[in-house]
A and B are shown apart, each in its own frame.
Chain A
């Protein structure tokens, strides 16, 4: 029914409009309770549904948080175990290296001490024997010089003998003193030896003590992790984020290195596999170059795994030592072979480049033949060097890759948790918004009904007043 036909229900459009308006308001008024209920039901359903959804999302977020916490603690525990294990290995190495020759050390110390004791005993000053003839000299001295016995001559002879004996005794005494001094001088080197040996022992013991302090600290952290304390989780989470960004940065550098490597071998690869064949929209030569680089990266991963530097493949880490060493040699040999191939390809690239430059110069018509310059060998050698070194450099990609993979789990979990939390918040806001919108819709519904509602209120008030007055009068009576 069009607007024109609606306006034509009476001969006067204005009256038709008023009539329709009255009719419309009447319908709205009659349907008001039902409409309000419907609006309220819809708003409540949406509000409840969204709040339920928000609660469910928060539950999921909490579950994910718990899982993240477990993953984080497990990763931290593993990492800490590895650190402690390495510290013990270092201690073991120190003990093996330094304390294994402790018996030798002890023997050398004992020998040095024995030598010192011997020398010390030898160096003891022996007091000279008291001369036996002192009493005879005293007796002779009591005899007067003029008593006629020729004592003066005797005394002169005695004096002479005494001086001689004194000289001899002094010489002997000096000789023995020299010997003592020599022995005491020898003792200095022994003392130095002992001092040095004790110094070494002290250094080793001190390093062991330092290590034990480090281990104590690690053990404390490990206990925190095992207990699952919030502090440990916070530290691990923060570390995980740092590791994630650092490893991503290093991986980006590695990708740059791989790209340079690719450009070094892609052109000469066209000489080997042809430059015009395609798989999909990719040249086979490019794919071959890429495959070589990827194989190098894989070999690097296996090498690092075999060396137990990374632990991406537990199977490799769990291999018997003999097999693991074999694997180290095999992967290293393959890497060496690939690096040699790359160096060769890099050399070939330079030759091709020169050939192409010569052809282009000829076709340009400048008539200049590109002659190899004297310094050309530098670029050739640099390219070959890069071709040889880059595969080995790519080996170390395994370390940041492992860190990236491990930290990515945590970071991904944190991001998803953040998203879930945001979703829950949005759902809660939307739920409340629907609730208020329901109230608003009711009010808006009532807006055209202001007149009948006002009348209804007036009538209700009058009825209420009348009832009140009747009740009051009845009460008075």
Chain B
């Protein structure tokens, strides 16, 4: 009897009210639409579809474009938090894919590239959703080109964020002097790691399995 009581107590303690652990994932993807990079949108579409196939119920996903001033909700192309029921989540995925396909056909290239503004917007969105894993994809050549008067010298708070730069293409000037490309990557890595986040670069789009956790 005593053993039974002890077992029940242990079970109650183990299964009792605990701090709920968030196990869902939040993904915010920034799409560079500036200049010639707009031509890479087809690849971005594939990555978005891949990400959609990997996300499940209660995960959040948003896709936003990087343009002249990216710190704005207006730049969000599509966003959703998937329903708890798998069938409803599938419907949402299909709807999301339709919106992305529509955007890919009608997107116009922007003059400037405000990556930092987009990152700030991503941080705000994901902090608001507060998922278990926060991931930001930057689909860009990482060449920031700010319009005059835009202040982006702001430290980023990226604790608990995984930032992944995807398809970082080399510019013509990078081919002449590869140090520029490497410096650009180093600079962004320091910005992200100084903000408390983790930094990765994935250029091989055939191996996207490691894009999302678990």
Contacts and interface: CB of A to CB of B under 8 A. Distances in A.
Interface in A419-471: none
B46 interface: yes
A277 B93 CA distance: 21
A275 B86 CA distance: 7
Nearest to A357: B90
A276 interface: yes
Nearest to A283: B23
Contacts of B90: 355-356, 358-359
The 10 closest A-B pairs by CB, nearest first: A274-B84, A363-B49, A276-B58, A359-B90, A275-B57, A363-B53, A276-B57, A355-B90, A271-B85, A363-B52
A363 B55 CA distance: 12
Nearest to B98: A362
A359 to B, nearest CB: 4
Contacts, number: 55
Interface in B76-124: 84-87, 90, 93-94, 97
B84 A276 contact: yes
A167 B86 CA distance: 109
A351 B56 CA distance: 18
B86 A363 contact: no
25 contacts: A270-B57, A270-B85, A270-B86, A274-B57, A275-B56, A275-B58, A275-B85, A276-B23, A276-B24, A276-B57, A276-B84, A279-B15, A280-B18, A355-B90, A356-B90, A359-B53, A359-B93, A362-B97, A363-B50, A363-B52, A363-B53, A363-B93, A363-B97, A364-B53, A365-B45
A360 interface: yes
The DSSP consensus for interface residues of chain B is helix
A356 B94 CA distance: 10
B5 interface: no
Contacts of B21: 278
Q: How large is the interface on B (under 10, 10 to 19, 20 to 34, 35 or more residues)?
A: 20 to 34
B87 to A, nearest CB: 6
Q: Which interface residue of A271, A280, A355, A362 has the most chain B CB atoms within 10 A? A: A362
With most chain A CB atoms within 10 A of its CB, the pick from B45, B52, B57, B84 is B84
A267 interface: yes
Interface string B34-66: 000000000001100110110011100000000
Interface of B: 14-15, 18, 21, 23-24, 45-46, 49-50, 52-53, 56-58, 84-87, 90, 93-94, 97
What DSSP secondary structure best describes chain A's contact surface?
A: helix
Nearest to B92: A359
Contacts of B52: 363
A274 B46 contact: no
* Most chain B Cβ neighbours within 10 Å, of A276, A277, A356: A276
A352 interface: yes
Given A275-B56, A276-B24, A267 B86 contact: yes
A364 B86 contact: no
Nearest to B93: A359
Interface string A341-360: 00000000001100110111
